[in-house]
Amino acid sequence: MSDLIDVAIIGGGPAGTTAALYAARGKARTVIFERSMMGGQIVTTDHVDNYPGFPEGISGPELGELMHQQALAHGAEIMQFVDITNLKHLDDGTFELTADDETYTARAVVLASGSVPSKLGIPGEEEFTGRGVSWCATCDAAFYKEKDVAVIGGGDAAVEEAIYLTKFAKKVYLIHRRDEFRAAATLVDKVRETSGIEIITPYNPVEIKGEDGKVSGLVIESADDKSTRELAVSGVFEFVGANPQNVLAYDLLERDERGYIITGNDGSTKVPGLFCAGDITQVPLKQIVTAAASGAIAGFYAVAYVDKKD
Ligand code: NAP
């Protein structure tokens, strides 16, 4: 593709697809670049019940697919499995996007590259990744039929995925380092009422143990008295937050101390024509609806920027 793109969008999650919807509806030539599955992190979410318009809730992959189809229907182009590895701001004010040996030129860019799950960094984690250690219950839960598993974390993701895992596992331990949960109160009530879940707080995971190359246990340490205990589990699911995917913007943009990109209210950055949206930004409540909303704002103002330059 050599023609000039009006608005290039990096990332095909809720922020990116909504930015594309607004940019395409603004009559800009809009291209989404997505290196993997369209939908971003929501493809790993079993059930979404807080996205408006779906009173019964909707599966994450289905919602991602609907967003994708809507952007396409309004004229956005999608370059899937294209990994943009370099982003340059050229002297003429345009942007050069590089993927493998292909380069693309765009008049404006919306960076909506999202975040990736954080890791605990404890012994055994790396060794047993993919062999009992997982960051995606939707992907891996079926491997744990009638087995015991541990879920680590106290946010929305940990609590939701612990509930989901009870459909498969015999027992789910939910381990959180504090007695108070960060997750929404309704979810915490639900997890307390779900049979098959044992909540253990305040405990920190300290080591993942294995046998025959697979996870066989999790050692946890009391935050109160430092005593330890070992849980016999076949799976350890980690939901301990996320890291913003800001590498493309490292040299170009300002970030806060946690790596989230600092933007104006319109998604703009200090680089004219470069906008950011979704989980890579400082948006305080990281939800699908807020990612989509910030995508709408960035997409709209990216078109306004392009139109102004004409
Ligand atoms: P999060 O809200 O940042 O929660 C991370 C949890 O992991 C916290 O409870 C934290 O404990 C714990 N933690 C962090 N580092 C740890 C460590 N080294 N050892 C043990 N525990 C550790 O992350 P999240 O649940 O992935 O959610 C991310 C964002 O996505 C949030 O804004 C969330 O609301 C949103 N989300 C929304 C939905 C939904 O609306 N359906 C679903 C999933 C996620 P502390 O509490 O002690 O810090």
Quick: pLDDT tens for 235-263.
Answer: 999 999 999 998 998 888 999 998 999 99
Is 140 a known active-site residue?
yes
> Closest ligand 1 atom to the C-alpha of 286?
32
pLDDT grade, residue 2 (50/70/90)?
A: low
**Percentage of residues in the chain with pLDDT exceeding 70?**
99
Side chain identity at residue 44, one-letter code:
T
Structure tokens belonging to residue 40: 């971003």
Q: What's the predicted TM-score (pTM) here?
A: 0.81
Structure tokens belonging to residue 64: 């991602």
* 304 Cβ below 6 A of ligand 1: no
Q: Average pLDDT for residues 84-95, to the nearest whole number?
A: 96
**Hey, which bits of the chain come out as E strands?**
5-10, 30-34, 77-80, 86-89, 95-99, 102-111, 115-117, 133-134, 148-152, 171-175, 197-200, 203-211, 214-222, 228-231, 235-238, 242-244, 274-276
CA 1, CA 77: separation in Å to the nearest integer?
A: 11
* 13 Cβ below 6 A of ligand 1: no
* 286 Cβ below 6 A of ligand 1: yes
Is 92 a known active-site residue?
no
CA 235, CA 141: separation in Å to the nearest integer?
A: 9
Query: Is pLDDT at 84 greater than 90 in this prediction?
Result: yes
- pLDDT averaged over every residue in the chain: 95
Is 276 a known active-site residue?
no
Alpha carbon separation from 89 to 73, 100, 116, 271 (Å, rounded): 30, 18, 25, 8
Query: Is pLDDT at 1 greater than 80 in this prediction?
Result: no
Closest by alpha carbon to 169, among 221, 119, 134? 134
Query: Is pLDDT at 133 greater than 60 in this prediction?
Result: yes
Q: pLDDT tens digits, residue range 40-54? A: 888 888 788 889 999
Q: pLDDT tens digits, residue range 101-122? A: 899 999 999 999 999 999 999 9
Q: pLDDT tens digits, residue range 220-236? A: 999 999 999 999 999 99
Q: pLDDT tens digits, residue range 183-220? A: 999 999 999 999 999 999 999 999 999 999 999 999 99
Look-up of token digits 């380092």:
177
Residue of minimum CA distance from atom 28 in ligand 1: 241
Q: Average pLDDT for residues 147-172, to the nearest whole number?
A: 96
* 238 Cβ below 6 A of ligand 1: no
**Percentage of residues in the chain with pLDDT exceeding 90?**
87
Q: Which of 6, 140, 148, 156 is catalytic?
A: 140
